[in-house]
Amino acid sequence: MTTDISTANRPSHLPRLQLGWPLSPKPENGALSYPDLDRSIRDQIKVILLTQPGEMLLHPSFGAGLQDMLHEPNTLGTRRRIRDLVQKSIARWERRVMLDAVDVWEIEGRPDAVRVELAYRIKRTGTAHQFHFDLVLGS
């Protein structure tokens, strides 16, 4: 006898969980689709930057730790620390790229936020890419 764990001990008014590997892929023409190299790298960079060290049990040092900057003032020193965290974490955890530049800028009209811009090249193909995101700081 098998039990569907998505409904076992679940009140009837709650929706059924719709999870699968890897998080419910949608087969196309009878096969699973995987991201291309560019998207895979971009997604991994996002994961690295959004992960706090200590979150991953098997890799406790994985991640950039940018959440530690959330209550820091928007100063030149803070922007340098953000740049250093990004450079160090990408160089350590995403070896498929070579970082060309990491710049952290003030955002005009938003004293509580900075823009982080990355320029990198994929080692296998040599193609250049850019990625940016805004990080809200304290004051």
pLDDT digits (tens, 9 = 90+) for 75-97: 999 999 999 999 999 999 999 99
**Which of the four pLDDT bands, split at 50, 70 and 90, describes residue 23?**
low
Predicted TM-score (pTM) of the model is 0.74
- 38-53 pLDDT, tens per residue? 988 999 999 999 999 9
Determine the average pLDDT of the residues in 91-110: 95
The string of DSSP letters for 30-48 reads TB-----HHHHHHHHHHHH
Q: Is 98 left (phi over 0), alpha (psi -120 to 50) or beta?
A: beta
What is the CATH topology of the domain spanning 37-136?
Nuclear Transport Factor 2; Chain: A, (3.10.450)
Domain boundaries, the chain: 37-136
